[in-house]
Amino acid sequence: MKQYTQKELEEFTKGFKKAADIISMEKPDHILAPVIGAVPFVDVLSIVNRHFPLEIVSYPPNSSRFANRDELMRKWDINFLRENYANEGLKIMTIDEVISGSSAVKGYIQFRRAIEDLARERSKGLENEIEALKHYTRKLGKKISYQILGITENRGKRITHSFSRLMNKKIARRINFSKIFTMDNVDLNTVRLKVGPINAQGRQNYLPEIERFEISSEYLEFLQDIARCVGADPKNVNPVNLGKIKESLSEYLK
């Protein structure tokens, strides 16, 4: 039995068309799609927009499923910046699940800290290191932009003040959905992480490594239904970027 009605599917597809339009308009240099939650979003975006730039998508470990998320994100972000920032402007957009917005805010804070880390690296050993640090912090803060595109389910939970502030500053925006079928739904997600320890609250934690990809019949049918909604051939849709998902974690967490 399908987990959505035709009306719900059409509304969902319409929302992702809007997301694809925003991304096309903003023209980011890189798109960050946090593993696990945003992996299905990229699959859907590649269907609703056949020109969606899959080559610029990376998958950071911004997930509460990781016990040491802050540490992982700071390491991932600084390695990402070392690899991709070359003294020119760098425009980054992250697409993320948003209920209260707290996870997206954490991702933003860690990214700003990584920019500060990069500024310290650039200024280290210079004649006036303190002034150099101030200079590079200002320069990188202006050169590197970070935007959040929130995929929001209306669960009646209030958005945090921190996320609202980012919205007021035009750093974050939301697209509202009545239901996000893929959220916390293992049948509609291909990623299976390696299992870590149980935490003090009895919750299962995971390691930032891909154990395998599992493409369920339900997930393929879901993608095919999206294709039918936009007039694409359902026979030609499949999960995308599987290799890049693994590579994004292994490469930037070295």
Contact 188, 222 (CB under 8 A): yes
Q: Which band of pLDDT confidence, cut at 50, 70 and 90, is reported for residue 27?
A: very high
What pLDDT, in 10s, does the model give residues 100-123?
999 999 999 999 999 999 999 999
Bridge partners, 173 (sequence order): 149
Q: Which band of pLDDT confidence, cut at 50, 70 and 90, is reported for residue 1?
A: confident
- Predicted TM-score (pTM) of the model is 0.94
Give pLDDT, residue 126.
Answer: 87
- 237 alpha-carbon distance from chain centroid: 21
- 209 alpha-carbon distance from chain centroid: 16
Phi (first) and psi of residue 24, to 5 degrees: -60, -40
Cα–Cα distance, 210 to 200 (Å, whole number): 24
Token code pair at residue 228: 């039918």
The string of DSSP letters for 19-87 reads HHHHHHHH--SEEE--TTTTHHHHHHHHHH-TT--GGGEE-----TTSTTHHHHHHHHHHHHHHHH--S
Q: Which band of pLDDT confidence, cut at 50, 70 and 90, is reported for residue 203?
A: confident
For range 239-247, the mean pLDDT: 97
What pLDDT, in 10s, does the model give residues 144-186?
999 999 999 876 678 999 999 999 999 999 999 999 999 989 9
Q: Could you give the percent of the chain with pLDDT greater than 70?
A: 99
How high does pLDDT run on average in the chain? 94
Place of tokens 């990402």: 80
Give pLDDT, residue 79.
Answer: 97
Closest of 111, 120, 124 to residue 139, by C-alpha: 120
Angle between the N-to-C axes of helices 69-84 and 102-123, in degrees from 0 to 180, rounded to the nearest 10: 50
What domains are defined for the chain? 6-189+215-249 (3.40.50)
Sign of CA dihedral 251, 118, 169, 71: positive
Give pLDDT, residue 201.
Answer: 81
Give pLDDT, residue 127.
Answer: 83
